[in-house]
Amino acid sequence: MKKVLLIISLLFTTLSICKAQNTASNIDNVRIRIFSDKQIEEVLFVPSFGQYYIETDKGEKIKVNKTAKVKIKDLDGSLEIKINDSTISKTSKINLIATGLKAFFQIAPIKPQITERRYEDNLEITSKNNSLFIINVVKPDNYLAGVVQSETWGATTNIDFFKIQAICCRNYMMNNLEKHSNEGYNLCDGVHCQAYKTRANKKEVTEGAYKSKGEIIIDSEGNIIETLFHSNSGGTTVNAKDVWGKEVPYLVSVEDSFSVECKNYQWEKYIKLRDWLNYFKGKGLNIKSKEIEDALINFSQESGRKTEILGIPLTTVRKDFNLKSTYFNVQKWGGEVKLTGKGYGHGVGMSQEGAIKMCEEGYEYWEVIEHYFKGVKVIKQ
Ligand SMILES: [Zn+2]
């Protein structure tokens, strides 16, 4: 009997553990802090589509009419709600809850005044440190579509590309659900997490996000991968190890002809010869040596990407001279050096311009992902 009880209790424990685990398909909503880098004292909320009601922690439920202007103000730690300028309630927590299948709203900080934004689904407002703490409680795919539109709209209208972007952002979301858990939410709306400055209203973006529902990228051990990307690889992507010193099996250099001749494929920069040489002098090189001077003004990566120039990491040179990439050649040009470079960004993972090119050439979205991330698989979770 004891044994049976043990088995039953073990079974229940296992079941509850399984149930507690989040998968990309079973998360109902995510909590995203919006205007996270701002101190806001008062906001204006206006429903744009769908039906909303206000729920306060005092148990009130107040319907919000379509054209109603809801103002929420922090008054020394408590919240004052006004609808069309008459005070409705004072409370410490407000939920603005949508009913129905689809709903979105407009939110505009009044104090200080900041351009309005639109978001989908629900809103939760509390007071923290005498300012409003605003959380968008949103369905994951609505959030992802918003992120994709905030970060990548404008480069193409190809749906497959937005599908890839949504999958990459979903990977990030799944790996970072606990990033702000100490503060009571999942992710913030800034570049610290993923920029989320709007709801998506571009058809291609929303279709890309919804059609990839539940899809994530895993490595050969089943882990959700870190989906790094950059603007253009210059024709060869970079090993993660060469940039951050840590080897990542799926972030290894690949030949990338798709990035060639795209918008950010090539760049040039002129630097005063004196500044160029003095920089390396500052790094401890003896620039009086003819051999060293020659190496510094005749540097070439024609035969393939290099990681350093006379022992100085190219990532450091890139940062110090604000270069578009580490993939460049140097030649003397009068009183200057001319840097002729390829690519834009750190070069690790997926080249966005290359991915767009692949999509436009008719490759499947998963073929694009498998081209840039080695040995991975796209699965529906
Ligand atoms: Zn964050």
Average pLDDT of adjacent 10-residue blocks, the chain of 381 residues: 51 47 87 97 96 92 91 94 92 94 95 96 95 97 95 89 97 97 97 96 95 96 96 96 94 97 96 97 96 96 94 96 97 97 97 97 98 97 87
180 CA to centre of ligand 1 in angstroms: 7
Residue 20, pLDDT score: 53
Q: What is the pLDDT of residue 18?
A: 43
- Could you tell me the distance, in angstroms and rounded to a whole number, from the CA of residue 112 to the centre of ligand 1? 22
- Prediction pTM value: 0.87
CA angle 300, 306, 311 (to 5 degrees): 95
State the greatest distance between any 2 C-alpha atoms of the chain, in Å, as a whole number.
91
Distance between Cα 193 and ligand 1 center (Å):
4
C-alpha span between 38 and 44 (Å, rounded): 15
Taking the centre of ligand 1 as the mean of its atom positions, its distance from the CA of residue 191, in whole angstroms, is 7
Instruction: List residues bridging with 284 in a β-sheet.
Output: none
Any long-range contacts for 285-292 (C-beta under 8 Å, 24+ apart)? 285/310, 285/312
Each domain of the chain, given as residue ranges in start order, spans 30-138, 142-211, 266-342
Is it true that the peptide bond before 140 is cis, omega within 30 degrees of 0? no
Tell me, what's the pLDDT at 15? 47
Measured CA distances, 271 to 187, 234, 256 (Å): 41, 21, 29
CA of 328 to the centre of ligand 1 (A): 33
In 266-335, alpha helices (H) = 273-282, 290-297, 314-321
Task: Tell me how far the alpha carbon of residue 258 lies from the centroid of ligand 1, in angstroms.
Answer: 32
Q: How far away, in angstroms, is 109 Cα from ligand 1 center?
A: 20
Contact at 8 Å (CB) between 357 and 364?
Answer: no
182 alpha carbon to ligand 1 midpoint, in Å?
A: 12
Q: Which helix (H) or strand (E) holds 63?
A: strand 61-64
**Given this model, what pLDDT does residue 208 score?**
95
Residue 230 pLDDT:
95
Closest CA to 235 of 265, 256, 252, 266: 256
User: Is residue 40 within 8 Å of residue 54, measured between CB atoms?
Assistant: no
Distance 179 CA to ligand 1 centre (A): 7
Give the strand pairing for 30-33 and 187-188. Answer: parallel
* Cα gap 187→30, rounded to integer Å: 8
- For residue 133, report the distance from its CA to the centre of ligand 1, in Å: 14
